[in-house]
């Protein structure tokens, strides 16, 4: 096999591919434990080679001696020994002749070179002629975003949309820089928030907040970005403004006494709910409320309506002989629908409870919020239907009882 030269723009993955190539070749051929990958591969950079060529040649010779000794000791001959030089184009053309002579000398011993450069034109002809030249292209931004999100999911890194956007704004289209920055942020802060990204990529613009203005929670938007008027306006309705205010108040860190200041928020500029709740602000309280939502709502549903009012509706509907006409049939049908609707709601609440049990740290997201909002509206509709059925039935019962007493029919004073 010949030497390999990978060339392409910065951030396209040349270094990563060179390392993966050497690693996979070792794993598939000599990965039985008797020879380690470090025994079969020597890694360096163009800057180190350019800084001291003699030291580079000495290190390579020492690595080869150790490898030969290990091969003789274990009796395992690797199919390929690899020297990886990252950014070989950093070596001046005059010193590249020394690298060329080393390549020729190592070729007799079965040592192959895997090098990365921006352009093969920066290498001398003798090196280019002894290698396969493979061109690499930069990934589209959409694919790089997919790679970054897959890394976040695989490594269980909590992230915000604004943080990802700020990260790409800083790193551009350099995938290597994106992943290195992502690793640095996660190692230091454990959560990819907008504030944490700003601390790393643009610390001059990051100002650590110490307090939160209460007026900002009441008026989350001072001016409309379109007409520059104070909302509500033709672009932002009163309902949208109120919803923004409620959402803003929910997101602001709070102490237990209600003041919008959090010790952890003051120190770090963020409240990492997903990893380490600070137990001093509204985020932690909301998590406890969400975890108890299933049990309390289900108890209310079964105890107040399913346990009392629905059986009462069905019991009264069973006395349809005392009510003439189609009105009684409609009330009976409504009572049956109420029972079916509440049973479906109970099933939905069971599903939400199981979801909460399987996802204890991710209750504050869009899927759960929409599910909770839907259940709340459905509960209100079902409760209204039950109350309406009871009201109509009792009104008809009272009217029927009055008519029967006036006409002398039925048993006097009979209760339904």
List the chain domain ranges: 3-135, 139-207, 292-407
256-285 b/e (C-beta count within 10 Å ≥ 16 → b): eeeebbbebbeebbbbbbbeebbebbbbbe
What is the CATH topology of the domain spanning 3-135? Rossmann fold (3.40.50)
Answer for the pair 111, 64: CB distance below 8 angstroms, yes or no. Answer: yes
DSSP letter, residue 281: S
Is residue 125 very low, low, confident or very high in pLDDT (cuts 50, 70, 90)?
confident
Query: Mean of the pLDDT values across residues 273-290?
Result: 43
Dihedral sign for Cα atoms in the order 139, 145, 148, 149: negative
Is residue 66 very low, low, confident or very high in pLDDT (cuts 50, 70, 90)?
confident
The answer on pLDDT for 317 being more than 60 is no
Is residue 295 very low, low, confident or very high in pLDDT (cuts 50, 70, 90)?
very low
Q: Which residue has the higher pLDDT, 28 or 50?
A: 50
Query: Mean of the pLDDT values across residues 70-79?
Result: 74
Options 3.40.50.1580, 1.10.8.60, 2.40.30.10, 3.50.70.10; which CATH number does 139-207 get?
1.10.8.60
> And the tokens for 302?
């079964």
CA distances from 314 to 201, 318, 319, 333, 338 (A): 66, 6, 9, 10, 10
DSSP letter, residue 108: T
Q: Which residue has the higher pLDDT, 152 or 224?
A: 152
Distant-in-sequence, close-in-space partners of 352: CB < 8 Å, separation ≥ 6: 293, 294, 368, 371, 372, 375
Does the predicted TM-score (pTM) go above 0.85? no
- For β-strands 81-86 and 3-7, DSSP reports them as unpaired
Is residue 385 very low, low, confident or very high in pLDDT (cuts 50, 70, 90)?
low
* pLDDT value, residue 376: 61
Q: Which residue has the higher pLDDT, 348 or 293?
A: 348
The answer on pLDDT for 363 being more than 80 is no
Give the separation between CA 58 and CA 56, rounded to whole angstroms. Answer: 5
Residue 252: exposure state from Cβ atoms within 10 A (0-12, 13-18, ≥19): buried
Give the separation between CA 375 and CA 345, rounded to whole angstroms. Answer: 7
Residue 285 C-alpha from the chain's centroid: 22
* pLDDT value, residue 372: 61
DSSP letter, residue 413: T
CA distances from 352 to 190, 304, 343, 414 (A): 28, 20, 14, 45
The neighbour count for residue 68, using CB atoms within 10 Å, is 12
């Amino acid at each position: 096999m010949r030497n390999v030269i990978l060339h392409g723009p910065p951030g396209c993955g040349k270094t990563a591919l060179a390392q993966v190539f050497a690693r996979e070749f070792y794993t598939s051929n000599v990965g039985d434990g008797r020879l380690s990958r470090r025994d079969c591969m020597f890694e360096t950079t163009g800057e180190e080679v350019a800084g001291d060529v003699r030291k580079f040649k000495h290190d390579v010779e020492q690595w080869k001696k150790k490898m030969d000794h290990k091969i003789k000791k274990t009796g395992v001959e690797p199919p390929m020994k690899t020297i990886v030089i990252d950014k070989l184009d950093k070596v001046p053309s005059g010193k590249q002749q020394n690298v060329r002579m080393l390549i020729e000398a190592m070729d007799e011993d079965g040592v192959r070179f895997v090098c990365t450069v921006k352009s093969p034109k920066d290498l001398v002809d003798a090196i280019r002629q002894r290698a396969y030249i493979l061109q690499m292209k930069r990934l589209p931004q959409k694919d790089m975003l997919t790679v970054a999100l897959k890394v976040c999911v695989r490594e269980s890194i909590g992230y915000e949309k604004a943080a990802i956007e700020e990260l790409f704004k800083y790193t551009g289209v350099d995938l290597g820089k994106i992943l290195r920055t992502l690793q640095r942020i996660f190692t230091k802060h454990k959560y990819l928030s907008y504030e944490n990204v700003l601390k790393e990529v643009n610390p001059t613009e990051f100002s650590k907040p110490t307090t939160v203005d209460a007026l900002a929670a009441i008026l989350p938007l001072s001016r409309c970005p379109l007409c520059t008027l104070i909302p509500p306006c033709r672009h932002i309705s009163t309902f949208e403004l109120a919803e923004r205010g409620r959402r803003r108040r929910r997101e602001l860190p709070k102490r237990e006494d209600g003041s919008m200041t959090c010790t952890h928020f003051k120190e770090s500029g963020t409240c990492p709910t997903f990893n380490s709740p600070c137990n001093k602000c509204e985020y932690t309280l909301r998590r406890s409320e969400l975890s108890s939502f299933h049990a309390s709502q289900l108890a209310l549903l079964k105890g107040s309506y399913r346990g009392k009012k629905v059986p009462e509706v069905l019991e009264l509907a069973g006395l349809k002989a005392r009510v003439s006409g189609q009105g009684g049939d409609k009330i009976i049908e409504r009572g049956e629908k109420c029972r079916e609707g509440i049973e479906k709601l109970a099933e939905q609440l069971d599903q939400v409870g199981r979801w909460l049990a399987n996802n204890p740290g991710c209750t504050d997201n869009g899927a759960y919020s929409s599910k909770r909002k839907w259940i709340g509206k459905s509960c209100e509709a079902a409760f209204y239907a039950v109350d309406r059925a009871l009201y109509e039935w009792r009104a008809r019962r009272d009217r029927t009882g009055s008519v029967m007493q006036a006409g002398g029919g039925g048993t006097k004073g009979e209760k339904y």
